[in-house]
Amino acid sequence: MSIIALEYHDVVAGADWDSSGFPGEAAASYKLSDVVFMAQLDVLSESGRRVGADVHAALADPEVPHVLLTFDDGGASALTVIGPALASRGWRAHLFVPTDRIGTPGFVTVEGLRNLQRAGHVIGSHSATHPTRMSRLSAAALRAEWRGSIALLEDILGERVTVASVPGGYYSRPVAEAASEAGVRALFTSEPVTAIETVASCAVIGRFTLRRWHSARYAASLAGRRSFARYGQWIGWSAKKLLKRTAGDAYLRWRAATFERASR
């Protein structure tokens, strides 16, 4: 349990949720306000763990307890809020980008990615198209998602890209095998576990997710030594996984309907 990885998405000022990342109410429930985010960083700095290291450094240093900070979806707030907030503390963000979105409204640009790289942050793939169910893709489609997105990022950044995260939490072993083949050495999932698995040449690392309503205290609890918050996420995730497996399309329809109701 030496690595606890936290999964964030966008961080926005005020309640302008659609200003960064994917639009809509379902996506917004994964976005944090900048005020709450800064408060979370404050409590994490007091967690007794090393916060904000590069994942490869953390994997090479298993005796030291780490908190890794990861951000999915490549929203524009990576450059305006997240990058500067972490850099001012000497921490690194792992920023995972669905490469088809680069330069589109609400998402980071090519120049923005280069600026984030220069500031010391780690840029990785979040697939090319952000498919709804990554684990359902054929082997060829999985290869195309990882290889295409990584080739593009390497072209932009001028260096090897060895980290990635799985979109939508739809993880399976073939997803990791295809990522490994594409050069990924650290793959983050959304499974709320601290055990790290190795698939081919790739370390598969679970993450604990922060949602819009989570307080600084909750973030502190996720990073704690014995954590009911981590256990709670695991219970919730296990139930949801069962539902996804048994209900499939019905689960996605229910989720969409629930968020539509909530946003009315």
Determine the interface stretch with Zn ion among 66-74, 100-108, 212-220, 222-230 (rule: CB under 5 A).
Answer: 66-74
CA distances from 98 to 168, 190, 238 (A): 12, 16, 26
Query: Any contact of residue 145 with Zn ion (CB under 5 A)?
Result: no
Q: Shortest Cβ distance from residue 74 to Zn ion (Å)?
A: 9
CA distances from 169 to 78, 161, 207, 262 (A): 20, 21, 10, 22
By CB under 5 A, name the one of 74, 75, 83, 167 that touches Zn ion.
Answer: 167
Ordered DSSP codes for 91-121: ---EEEE-GGGTTSTTB--HHHHHHHHHTTP
Give the C-alpha separation, 256 to 73, whole Å. Answer: 19
- In 3D space, the residue among 194, 199, 180 whose CA is nearest the CA of residue 227 turns out to be 194
Which residues are 189's β-sheet partners? none
Per-residue binding letters, 91-130, with Zn ion (x by CB under 5 A): ----------------------------------------
Q: Shortest Cβ distance from residue 96 to Zn ion (Å)?
A: 7
Q: Shortest Cβ distance from residue 222 to Zn ion (Å)?
A: 19
Query: Any contact of residue 72 with Zn ion (CB under 5 A)?
Result: yes
Q: Shortest Cβ distance from residue 210 to Zn ion (Å)?
A: 14
Give the C-alpha separation, 95 to 109, whole Å. Answer: 13
Query: Any contact of residue 191 with Zn ion (CB under 5 A)?
Result: no
Query: Any contact of residue 73 with Zn ion (CB under 5 A)?
Result: yes
Which residues of this chain interact with Zn ion, rule CB under 5 A?
72-73, 167
